[in-house]
Structure 1
Amino acid sequence: MQPSQVLRSLCLFAALSSMAVVVLGLCDSCQTNNVACLNETHYRFCADNVAPNQVAECPTGQVCTNLAIICMDKGSYDASCSADAADGSCPSCDGTSMFVCTSRTTFQQCNGTSLLSQVTKCKDNKICSISSGKYCVDLCEAGDSIECDREAPL
């Protein structure tokens, strides 16, 4: 092979490798199968003709994937949104805010850098959005900014 072909092949390999890293572990991002995995087992549809605030759940023992068959048996295929990625995406009390989202549908009050024990739940079909100033909003109002992607508070 000529040096320019080798260089082109290396660049193509690097580009494809970086795209694979970007796709794996993304939560609440629309994928090629027209769903956004919210965590390992829950997803929402990314189609214009489907209400955006509907969350679906994979059957027991299955995970949300980027395949045409959205839910696959756990262990046979990696989840598009790993538990680590979902659990790591929630804010903590840092002394600057009075409340933080502790799951997709709950929030708690902060006392400085400590979380108080009282859990407040959003109404049905609402998600936590402290940054909106409303505490809980419709999923379509939150857009791509899900503040906490846990199924339940820790």
Structure 2
Amino acid sequence: MQNVQILRNLCLFAAICSMAGLVLGACNSCQSNGVKCLNETYFEYCSDNVETGQVQACPDEQVCTEYEAFCMPSGATPACPDSEADGSCESCDGTNLFVCTSRTTFQMCSGTNLTGTPSSCKANTVCSIRSGKFCVDSCEVTGNLECDKTA
């Protein structure tokens, strides 16, 4: 009888531990390290004393993690893998002249179709058609990126 109770408690403990792993690594939610990972490489600070909406990028070859040093070398497990991030991008809908096709590229629209080849933003900038500048420094982005996909 006592063995059954021990086994039941172990199963409950294992279930709780497996759920904790799912909750810790979530996209767009504030983590204990003071950031929320938007995808594998971009994050926002989520401290009460830091203005919201400031999208930042981890250095090259690093990913956003749930650890205290939140940008870690690429071998680390990202808190928000690109496969789970909301990578939605606007499409040509007949009213826009340009759309972001990735975090760092944009393309001209012809009606509801993309035309020509994608253009690239300079290093350390992200696509922001809404800004009227095509590409802006990541600290100029307010809210979410217009297109959160890798190029």
Q: Shorter-normalised TM-score: what interval?
A: 0.5 to 0.7
2:37 partner letter: C
Q: Contact 1:89/1:148 (CA < 8 Å) preserved in 2? A: no
Match of 2:130 among 97, 122, 134: 122
- Aligned pairs for 1:97-112 (under 5 A) are none
Which residue matches 2:88?
Answer: 90
Normalised to the residue count of structure 2, the TM-score between the two structures is: 0.63
> Identity, % of aligned pairs?
30
Provide the aligned length of Structure 1 versus Structure 2.
127
User: Are 1:35 and 1:46, in contact at CA under 8 Å, matched by a contact in 2?
Assistant: yes
CA RMSD for the aligned pairs? 3.5
Q: 1:4 to 1:53 in 2, by over 3 A?
A: same
1:129 corresponds to which residue?
none
| One-letter amino acid matched to 1:17 | S
Give ranges in structure 1 of 5+ residues lacking alignment.
127-137, 140-145
CA offset at residue 23 of structure 1?
Answer: 2.9
Q: Which residue of 1 aligns with 2:41?
A: 41
> TM-score normalised to the size of structure 1?
0.62
| Alignment gaps of 5+ in structure 2 | 119-127
**For the structure 1 residues 53 and 92, does the alpha-carbon distance in structure 2 shift closer, same or farther, using more than 3 Å as the test?**
closer
Contact 2:37 2:65 in 1 (8 A): yes
Q: Distance in 2 between matches of 1:22 and 1:89?
A: 20
1:5 alignment partner, SS class: helix
